[in-house]
Amino acid sequence: MSMTQVIVVPTQGTAISLGAQGLPLREYLLVGISAAVVTFLLTGVVRLLAIRFGAVAWPRGRDVHVTPTPRWGGLAIFAGILGGVAVAAQLPALRLAFLYSSEVVWAIVAAALLVVVGALDDRYELDAFTKLAGQITAAGLLVLKGGIQWSTFWVPWGGGPGHIGFPVSLSSEQSALITVLLTVALVNGMNFVDGLDGLAAGLGCIAATATCLFSLGLLYDNGNDPNAYSPALIAALLAGGCFGFLPHNFNPARLFMGDSGSMLIGVMLAAATITASGRITRFDGKDAVGLMTPLIVLAAVVFVPLLDLLMAVVRRTRAGTSPFSPDKMHLHHRLLEIGHSQRRAVLLAYLWSGVLAFGAVALSVSNNTALVLWGVGFMLLFAMLATAVPRLRTPGRVKTR
């Protein structure tokens, strides 16, 4: 694809002309790289601050790490995201994302709120209801100030002759409620999987990258309309921040992201995916898989954290405890129990999330649906075998750490 050929930054009474076929791919890449570099460079500084102010994770019974490790990695990721925003604001094409919409700005504001709440929790151990109040407030900012709402839902049945399913427009109240629920679920889902070195950062990077690719496809479908720049920009910022943090966070981690990081990833991912859903312009296709692609993409990028969240709520409720009470039965703990090392468990989680997320994106851009489904099926089979390898090697034996 060629670059944007003509860009006129608007002033009063000035029209805007964009190259109809060019997408600002290099600009998005530059923003992501900038966020990654800033995050990588500032992580060491944040580590020293965390140690200085006592934001340290001391080993507990349910934890995997055995040595005290500083937290506040979310501060470094957020600083990287701000660095990426500063770069985007100087680029003629991506500057339009701020001029045409307030979605990016309010996604950053909501993220800042949860970074503050998370940083306080990392230091002082806030109660669950205080954190929940912060999450709902952040989601409310996305809805009320940023105008970020999931306004259209796809029903895969009916639709009349020659059509499969039909879109349903939600009322403003329904849209607001679904947006808040999804945002809170994503924030807590990312928080729940943050139990192994590099796990949440890697899953966040994979999910954000897949969302960015899908959003670029929607941008192409919208004729490179600047109104559709926001979702890809939010996702690129998040992907860069997570990628820059990984070298410091992968096993053995020198810094944990803490709740400041996991909640940041959750709210930014919610903002990107929900904003992307509002840019879908086509509701027809050759088959049901193609029609359901937007929902498949959304489900795939959040599959691991939401599955872990659902299993945790069911497990704790059946045990008669609070859904927010901690335990050592998350998916990553189970991978350790069947014999995987911590690094292999994290890589397996990457594999599952990547196959689902990028497979769904492939469905949205490929004309050969059957080939994509066969490829995804093969990779899922490979992931299942890789996950079961330790148990197959040592039947009846459980390895613990």
Which parts of the chain have pLDDT scores under 70?
1-21, 59-66, 153-167, 280-309, 311, 315-316, 322-338, 391-401
Share of the chain above pLDDT 90, in %: 33
Asked whether the CA dihedral 286, 287, 291, 297 is positive or negative, the reply is: negative
Q: How far are the Cα atoms of 161, 185, 196, 333 from residue 257, in angstroms, in the given order? A: 52, 19, 11, 18
pLDDT at 237: 97
pLDDT at 62: 52
- Tell me whether residue 10 is in a domain: no
Cβ–Cβ under 8 Å, residues 115 and 265: no
- Tell me whether residue 399 is in a domain: no
Cβ–Cβ under 8 Å, residues 233 and 370: no
Cβ–Cβ under 8 Å, residues 71 and 257: yes
pLDDT at 357: 84
- Tell me whether residue 311 is in a domain: no
- Tell me whether residue 345 is in a domain: no
Number of domains in the chain: 1
Asked whether the CA dihedral 7, 10, 11, 14 is positive or negative, the reply is: positive
- Tell me whether residue 20 is in a domain: no
- Tell me whether residue 253 is in a domain: yes
> What DSSP letter does each residue of 65-124 carry, written as one string?
--S-EE--HHHHHHHHHHHHHHHHHHSTTTHHHHHH-SHHHHHHHHHHHHHHHHHHHHHH
Cα separation, 250 vs 252, whole angstroms: 6
- Tell me whether residue 392 is in a domain: no
- Tell me whether residue 220 is in a domain: yes
Cα separation, 378 vs 356, whole angstroms: 12
Q: Tell me the two tokens of residue 380.
A: 């899922």
Q: How far are the Cα atoms of 32, 292, 331, 369 from residue 158, in angstroms, in the given order? A: 41, 14, 37, 22
pLDDT at 110: 96
Question: Model confidence over 260-272: pLDDT tens digits?
Answer: 999 999 999 989 9
DSSP 8-state class, residue 145: T
What's the length of the chain? 401
Cβ–Cβ under 8 Å, residues 293 and 177: no
Domain ranges, residue 261: 25-299
pLDDT at 3: 40
Q: What is the 3-state secondary structure (H, E, C) of 173-200?
A: HHHHHHHHHHHHHHHHHHHHHCCCCCHH
Amino acid identity of 383?
A
57: three-class secondary structure by DSSP: strand
pLDDT at 52: 92
Residue given tokens 């507990």 in the structure block: 60
